[in-house]
């Protein structure tokens, strides 16, 4: 019975079965939550039960000042060039920066202070003004700690964030140019590395990971720093589950914190645990429709 038959109206001579309006249709699928969002909710609840407040991270675009300079990351650091960082074309520069704080950041980069030698280079404002897609949520942590440092009297705080970050890296089966970073930070008087180890044990235990191992490492904005490992019973091997450290005085003191205030922080990704918890071996299966890129 072709389209032509239909167009010629020959369907009128046909015998049609009576339409059964009482037939049961296929039950509509109820839909389902995305695995990343389920794990995000679970981790959000862990932070909240531990007394952490969520940071406001709804700015994917950030100035190099907050993404790097405020964290004492030197302007010639390799992570700051376009091989690792997405720079924005328009608007290419940020509109405004806190001038008095900017001067303190310039000074600590150039000649240090607070017992630090600094990096002994000429710090340039135009470098700090360049807009980027934030490479870590630590840029937001810098903003939040700066506003905490303005408050008197100082009150200890715990913050967390779970949101997208962007890195100009080669994409492969387990790496995309963006991922969700999870970050926790505690700011208080007299915090030590022992406090960091303890909060990491508490946090990861709630994620089902115990007997952690810490390995010394380096980050531009934390000293000392530790990579975190956990023995994964299922995979029968030590798995790197995150990175952590104590923010440097060269980051905290220019913000205006008193000398005895320290801040401990750690980070991990949302994709790694989700892929392991849901047995997903290709990160592309986490994003978008099933297409073979
Ligand atoms: C560009 O890649 C960075 C990303 C991402 C990462 C690394 C560091 C930070 C950080 C930080 C930080 C440090 C100091 C102060 C503030 C923030 C955040 C995310 C994961 C961090 N990692 C990571 O998530 N691994 C992980 C986490 C949980 C997990 O759970 C499973 C159920 C068992 C499994 C694995 C470690 C590695 O995967 C690493 O190879 C990849 N890392």
Residue 206 CB–ligand 1 contact under 6 Å: no
- How high is the pLDDT of residue 288? 66
- How high is the pLDDT of residue 284? 82
Q: Spell out where the chain has E strands.
A: 53-54, 61-63, 131-133, 157-166, 178-189, 212-219, 222-232, 237-247, 261-269
Distance 131 CA to ligand 1 centre (A): 25
Band of the pLDDT at 293, cuts 50, 70, 90? very low
Average pLDDT over the chain reads 94
- How high is the pLDDT of residue 176? 80
pLDDT in tens, 219-242: 999 999 999 999 988 889 999 999
Q: What is the largest CA-CA distance in the chain?
A: 97
Say if CB 73 and CB 64 are below 8 A apart.
no
- How high is the pLDDT of residue 145? 98
Cα 7 to chain centroid distance, Å, stands at: 60
Residue 168 CB–ligand 1 contact under 6 Å: no
pLDDT in tens, 120-151: 999 999 999 999 999 999 999 999 999 999 99
- How high is the pLDDT of residue 100? 98
Distance 228 CA to ligand 1 centre (A): 9
- How high is the pLDDT of residue 13? 87
Average of pLDDT values for 203-214? Answer: 94
Task: Indicate which atom in ligand 1 lies nearest the CA of residue 247.
Answer: 15
Please give the C-alpha separations between residue 283 and each of 112, 230, 286, 288, in angstroms, as whole numbers.
42, 21, 5, 11
Residue 181 CB–ligand 1 contact under 6 Å: yes
* ipTM score above 0.95: yes
State pTM to two decimals: 0.89
Measuring from atom 19 of ligand 1, which residue has the nearest CA?
A: 268
Band of the pLDDT at 187, cuts 50, 70, 90? very high
> Does residue 153 have a pLDDT over 80?
yes
> Does residue 99 have a pLDDT over 80?
yes
Q: How far apart are CA 293 and CA 275, in angstroms?
A: 19
What angle is formed at CA 65 by the lines to CA 60 and CA 69, rounded to 5 degrees? Answer: 125
Distance 87 CA to ligand 1 centre (A): 23
pLDDT in tens, 242-258: 999 999 999 999 999 99
Distance 183 CA to ligand 1 centre (A): 10
């Amino acid at each position: 019975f072709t389209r032509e038959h239909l167009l010629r109206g020959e369907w009128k001579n046909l015998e049609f079965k009576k339409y059964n309006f009482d037939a049961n249709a296929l039950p509509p699928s109820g839909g389902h939550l995305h695995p990343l969002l389920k794990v995000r909710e679970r981790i959000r609840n862990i932070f909240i039960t531990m007394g952490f407040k969520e940071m406001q991270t709804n700015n994917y675009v950030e100035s190099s000042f907050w993404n790097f300079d405020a964290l004492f990351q030197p302007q010639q650091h390799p992570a700051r060039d376009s091989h690792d960082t997405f720079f924005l074309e328009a608007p290419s520069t940020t509109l405004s920066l806190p001038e008095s704080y900017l001067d303190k950041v310039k000074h600590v980069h150039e000649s240090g202070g607070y017992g630090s030698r600094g990096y002994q280079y000429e710090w340039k404002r135009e470098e700090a003004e360049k807009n980027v897609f934030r490479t870590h949520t630590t840029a937001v942590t810098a903003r939040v700690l700066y506003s905490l440092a303005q408050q008197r009297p100082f009150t200890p705080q715990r913050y967390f964030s779970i949101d997208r970050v962007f890195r100009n890296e080669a994409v492969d089966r387990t790496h995309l140019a963006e991922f969700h970073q999870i970050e926790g930070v505690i700011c208080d008087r007299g915090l030590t590395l022992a406090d960091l180890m303890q909060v990491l044990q508490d946090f990861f235990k709630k994620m089902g990971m115990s007997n952690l191992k810490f390995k010394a490492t380096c980050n531009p904005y934390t000293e000392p720093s530790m990579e975190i490992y956990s023995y994964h019973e299922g995979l029968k091997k030590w798995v790197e589950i995150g990175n952590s450290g104590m923010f440097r005085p060269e980051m905290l003191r220019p913000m205006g914190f008193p000398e005895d205030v320290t801040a401990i922080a750690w980070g991990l990704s949302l994709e790694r645990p989700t892929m392991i918890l849901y047995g997903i071996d290709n990160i592309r299966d986490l994003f978008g429709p099933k297409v073979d890129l």
